[in-house]
Amino acid sequence: MRLSAAARREQNWGYLMIAPTIIGLVVLNLWPFIQTIYTSFCEHLGFGNYKFIGIDNYVEMFQNPEVWRATWNTILFCILTVPVGLFLSLLVAMLLNAKIRGKGAFRTIFFLPMVCAPAAVTMVWRWIFNSDYGILNQIFGTHINWITDSKFVMIACAIVAIWSNIGYDAVLLLAGLQNISKSYYEAAEIDGTSKVNQFLQITLPMVSPTLFVVMIMRLMSSIKVYDLIYMMVEDTNPALTSVQSLMYLFYRETFVAGSRGSGAAIVVWTVAIIGIITVIQFVGQKKWVNYDV
């Protein structure tokens, strides 16, 4: 079917409008990722020169116990941060959605950690977790080495991650809650439905699409965690191996050891993990995400 001149002009304008976004995705995302895949099959010789060595980087990576330890640390970090973070974010969103005074001020307060510099946030939390004069040990009368003890360093980093992201996730979930028609709750109250059942039968199903999006964002962010660990745990810290993530290991391999091929292989392995988890999420969401409005 041939388009009219007016339709072709409108189509061309559409292509022109999306061109900057498409070019940005190709130049800043797609092409660098293709280069990363190629680099993962090469040995870096310095000054931008590479030598193709096949799958040697991958063989070496999967034989390295440090990679498997970093993989487990990354998965454990997701397990510690994502479920608790989603629960607390939904709780905060429901409180902010309630009829209380000063809701706007509370929303701003909860969102503030997202606009604070990560370095400043880390400095404050390092002081809180300090084993000698930290406020946390002072309150509970303990002497726990939160950052230097391998038993607690992952928990400490998880607490900071959850605290930093609750406000942002709560704002997104609040938007989902405010899209739920009040008529559902009015009908439920007429039927004598309890508040708990209203949450389980109305709120949770109706906010599930937003919750699903937030869960995907938080999982990807947790898998790619680097800056938090880098600023919380020094490279001379004996507990580093207990919290070192895949992205932190990528940094060490690429910029400290100078092995860009090995670092690129770690990135590809991380992307593969993200892809597998994303596929599982999209398959599983058919059973619990409700898109019927």
Say how many residues make up the chain: 293
Same domain, 84 and 18: no
3-state per-residue secondary structure call for 250-265? HHHHHHHCCCHHHHHH
> Per-residue pLDDT tens for 72-99?
999 999 999 999 999 999 999 988 887 7
**Which CATH number fits the domain that encloses residue 148?**
1.10.3720.10
| Per-residue buried b or exposed e for 78-88, using 16+ beta carbons within 10 Å of the residue's own CB | bebbbeebbeb
Q: Does residue 43 sit within a domain?
A: no
Does 226 map to a domain?
A: yes
16 & 75 share domain: no
Q: Are residues 266 and 137 in the same domain?
A: yes
Q: Does one domain contain both 12 and 133?
A: no
Position 24: which residue type? G
CB 292 within 8 A of CB 84: no
Task: Report phi then psi at 42, rounded to 5.
Answer: -130, 165
Nearest C-alpha neighbor of 223 from the set 233, 215, 234: 215
Question: How many whole angstroms separate alpha carbon 42 and alpha carbon 260?
Answer: 8
Judge whether 210 lies within some domain. yes
Same domain, 203 and 271: yes
Q: What's the domain count of the chain?
A: 2
Cα–Cα distance for residue pair 211/206, rounded to 1 Å? 10
Query: Is residue 131 located within the same domain as residue 255?
Result: yes
- Write out the E strands in 195-284: none
Do 153 and 249 sit in the same domain of this protein? yes
In this structure, the answer to whether residues 18 and 85 fall within a common structural domain is no
Within-domain flag for 52: no
Kindly state whether residues 170 and 275 are assigned to the same domain: yes
Instruction: Tell me which amino acid residue 69 is.
Output: R
- pLDDT at res. 1: 59
242 lies in some domain: yes
| pLDDT tens digits for range 64-77 | 999 999 999 999 99
Domain that holds residue 99: 64-288
In-domain check, residue 147: yes
Residue 59 confidence (pLDDT): 95
Q: What integer best gives the mean pLDDT of the chain?
A: 89
Whether residue 92 is found in the same domain as residue 6: no
How many alpha carbons lie under 13 Å from residue 200 in its C-beta half-sphere?
A: 5
* pLDDT tens profile 208-241: 999 999 999 999 999 999 999 999 998 889 899 9
Query: How many Å apart are CA 166 and CA 111, to the nearest integer?
Result: 8
pLDDT digits (tens, 9 = 90+) for 100-132: 777 777 777 777 777 777 888 888 999 999 888
pLDDT at 5 over 90: no
pLDDT of 182 over the 90 cut: no
Mean pLDDT of 148-165: 93
204 within a domain of the structure (yes/no): yes
Structure tokens at 127: 């002081």
**19, 107: one domain:** no
User: Does the residue 47 lie in any domain?
Assistant: no
Residue 110 sits in the same domain as residue 199: yes
